Amino acid sequence: MHYKFRSNAKINLFLKILYKRNDGYHQIESFFLPISIADTIYIEIEQGTARNIEDIKFESINYIPLENRHLFEEVSERGNIKNNLVYKLFEKLFQLNIKLPVLKIKILKRIPPGSGVGGGSSNVATILRFLIQQNRLSFNDALKIAESIGSDIPFFIYNVPCFVTGRGEIVKPIDKKNLYNLENIYGIINFNQKSVSTKEAYKELKKPLQEEYLKIYGHNTNSGKAFFDKSFLEMGFDDFLHRCENDFERITLEKEPELLKIKDLMLKTEPIKVLMTGSGSAIFSLYNTKEKMLEALKHLKKIDNKQSIFKPFKIYTGQSPSGKASDFGSDMRRFESSLPSQ
C-alpha cells in the first residue's frame, strides 16, 4: 500500500513568551496556523512486522531552494540521521513496543530548516497522523509521543488553526465559526539564509523565572488568552491583526539587520500585516485578496536569490471558501496551479 501526505508548515499570528518555567521550558501563548507550503511524505507499507528501526527505510530528496539546504543534509540519511526528528520518532515508537509494519518513508523536503515554521515537527506529526489512521496509535497516545519529542508537534497533529499554550503542547483548535475569513486570506513568506536557534533566542529574551513572574502578576497568567479572546473572538480579525506581536521579533531583527530590510521591503507592498514567525527567521505578509498578493509577489520576486526567496501561501483552515471541508484539498490544488511558475 502506498500513501501520500502533505506536511504543512505553520505561522504564528502572535507569540507571547511569559516566563521561564521551573522545568527549564518557557511558558508561551500563541495562535498557530498551518499554511499551504508543505513537504511531501510518501509512505509504503510492506509485508511483515518491523522488528527494529532497521526495518524502517528512509529516503529523502532535498528540494530546499536556499544555500542552507545543507542543514537538512546534515540530518538526512546522507548525514547523521540519528539527529533527524523522524528517526527519533521511530526510536521512541520501538522503545514503547508499538507494533509497526515494515515501512518505506520518502520525504520531498521543501521547507527550509531554522525558519520558525516547524518543518521537522510537521514531518513527525504527519507520520503520527498516518499511524492513527492505520489504528496503530490512539489520538491521545500520539499526542503524548509528540509532546515527548518536540513542543510544536502536538499542534501539527491537529493541523488546523489553534490557540497554543504551555511550552507549546497544550493545543486548543479554534471553532470554525470563529475563523472569520481566514480561508480567503493570501500570504507571502520570506525564507532566507539566516538560521535562528530557538534555544539561543529564548536566552536573548531574558524572561523572568516562574517564581518572579508569579510574584509580580499573581497566578493570572492567561494574558495571551485574554488578548486572543478579546481581540480575535470578540473584536474581529482586523483589530486582532493590528495588535499582534511576536516577542522574538525585536531581538532577532536587531541582531540580523538583513531581516529588518526584508520586513521593510514587504511593508512597501501594503499588506494587512507583516510579522516574523516563531523565533525566526521567516517573515510573512498577509493580503485580503489574491490580486493584491500576486502584485506584491511580482514586486518581491525581483529580489529573489539563493539566500532569500518569497513564496505565496494560503492558510490551511480545514475548509474551503465554500465552507465545506471536503472541498479544501481541491481548493488548495487550484490555488497552487494558478500561481505563476516559481
Angle at 3 between CA 313 and CA 184, to 5 degrees: 20
Give the Cα separation of 54 and 77 in Å (integer). Answer: 12
273 is catalytic: no
Q: Give the DSSP per-residue string, 153-200.
A: HHHHHH-S-EEEEETTTEEEEPPGGG-TTGGG-EEEEEEES----HHH
10 is catalytic: yes
- Asked if 109 and 63 touch (Cβ cutoff 8 Å), the reply is yes
- Asked if 96 and 145 touch (Cβ cutoff 8 Å), the reply is yes
Phi then psi dihedrals of residue 295, to 5 deg: -65, -40
Output b/e per residue, 4-38; b: 16+ Cβ within 10 A. Answer: ebbbbbbbbbbbbbbbbeeeeebbbbbbbbbbbbb
DSSP letter for 23, please. Answer: T
- Asked if 281 and 274 touch (Cβ cutoff 8 Å), the reply is no
Q: How many CA atoms lie within 13 A of 102 on its CB side?
A: 7
Options 20, 39, 109, 152, the catalytic residue: 152
Active site residues: 10, 152
